[in-house]
Structure 1
Amino acid sequence: MSTSTSMEPLSARIPSDLYLWLAQLQVEGAATNSDKLRVLLGQLKRQHDGAFDYVTALAWCRDLVARLRDSLARLEESQGKHSEVLQQVLEHSCHSMALLISAQPADAAAAAQLENALLRRSFALTEALLRQATTAEANAFDPQVVNKHMPTTLNLAQAILVLKGALHG
């Protein structure tokens, strides 16, 4: 939201279904429809600005998953459980989306930079998940979730090692 202290009036006619939706919408820190519009326009501005800047896009993506983060915090508080796996995937998703949203490669070199950044982030997530597989149980709401999805990845990694060994041996 703008740091300007000046407020300007805004008037618009909207369809009744949108008005009813807005009236029932729960927006944190906004009680009235006017407050809700200010918050929602601020979010729209962050979305628009994020199309031009990675850091702004990342903040916007994190805003989009705020309900999920809050829900996970409540679960952690009430259940005494935390999921590093879910947190890593969530963080990876926000960063990857921010890269995609803010990217506008004008040439092959810029596209290659984007590709490199996305793959660097993807392999960092893979490494984090592989670290979770080094223990009997992953730090996750479902302690076996990593082990359930690991076999195909391990088979592919083994096949790559065999192939690379055959090519270089």
Structure 2
Amino acid sequence: MPSSVAGEGGFPDFHCCWRFLRITKLCRRTRRGSGIPSSPLIFHSKIDVRLQTSYDVLQRDMASLNTPLSVRLSDEDTSFLAKLEVDGALTASDKIRGLIRQARQRAEPVENFSAALVISHEQLAAAVRAVRIIEQDLDRHSDVTVGLMTAAEELLALALAAPRPGSASGADDLVRHEARLVDCAARMTDQLLRWAVTPTAPAYEPAVISRRLAELSDLMKLVSAALAAR
């Protein structure tokens, strides 16, 4: 049986309405205990500060949500949505709004590296969290794994912040973008080489780096010879 999760039949979102009524009830109950008239809904005392903030935020949020949308999902999709983590959202309606926001971020050009870093962090957060949970459960840790995943987050952010067509300084933008990508990759390589200085790296498998770099030793010798010949 399909499930309706947001704005069914054009009615306001149930969770938003419930929160609104609950905050209103708490505000009036608080003022009755303080001898303050409960109507109209005006905030008077310091004890209402947090309720005032919640009330104002909720009023603003509800005012911006003026387009009802009905969505029907299968039981399987509803179960998936219930388990999905989206920006800390708890209700299906909030999660769907979060998913739409994320989709809009991916579709629109990324304005700067800061915005790109937010997107890359969101993309990799679940994977990083899963690794750390397993590490905690098994009482093991790998600086190599966590370090490379962190570097991958930065590299992805740089890639997302690529220059866009139509820029007047397109050629210069490409040069700067390329240099930033190379710098990031070089830092990753530098870290790998530092881990390889000792026979055992801070990894789940201590020989994982030294073994792999040994396979590249001939190539590194050729690179060193080429640099010396210049």
TM-score (normalizing by structure 1):
0.81
Moved more, 109-118 or 75-84: 75-84
Moved more, 145-154 or 66-75: 145-154
Moved more, 151-160 or 121-130: 151-160
Gaps of 5+ in 2: 1-56
Q: Which of 139, 142, 160 is equivalent to 2:202?
A: 139
Shift of 1:122: 0.2
Q: Which of 130, 144, 150 is equivalent to 1:85?
A: 144
CA displacement 1:1-32 (0-9 Å, x = unmatched): xx883221431556x56x85255232224443
Shift of 1:139: 0.9
Q: Which of 86, 94, 118 is equivalent to 2:181?
A: 118
Quick check: 1:161 aligned with 2:224? yes
Q: 1:131 to 1:74 in 2, by over 3 A?
A: same
Q: Which of 80, 94, 108 is equivalent to 1:24?
A: 80
CA displacement 1:35-66 (0-9 Å, x = unmatched): 22122233334445672221111111111111
Moved more, 133-142 or 115-124: 133-142
Q: Which of 126, 141, 156 is equivalent to 1:67?
A: 126
TM-score (normalizing by structure 2):
0.62
Q: Which of 8, 32, 35 is equivalent to 2:94?
A: 35
Shift of 1:67: 1.4
Gaps of 5+ in 1: none
Quick check: 1:98 aligned with 2:170? no
2 CA distance for matches of 1:50 and 1:85? 32
1 CA distance for matches of 2:203 and 2:91? 39
Amino acid at match of 1:156: L
Moved more, 32-41 or 66-75: 32-41
Q: 1:109 to 1:61 in 2, by over 3 A?
A: same
Quick check: 1:53 aligned with 2:109? no
Q: 1:44 to 1:59 in 2, by over 3 A?
A: same
Amino acid at match of 1:11: L
1 CA distance for matches of 2:204 and 2:104? 35
Moved more, 127-136 or 47-56: 47-56
Aligned-partner SS, 2:68 = coil
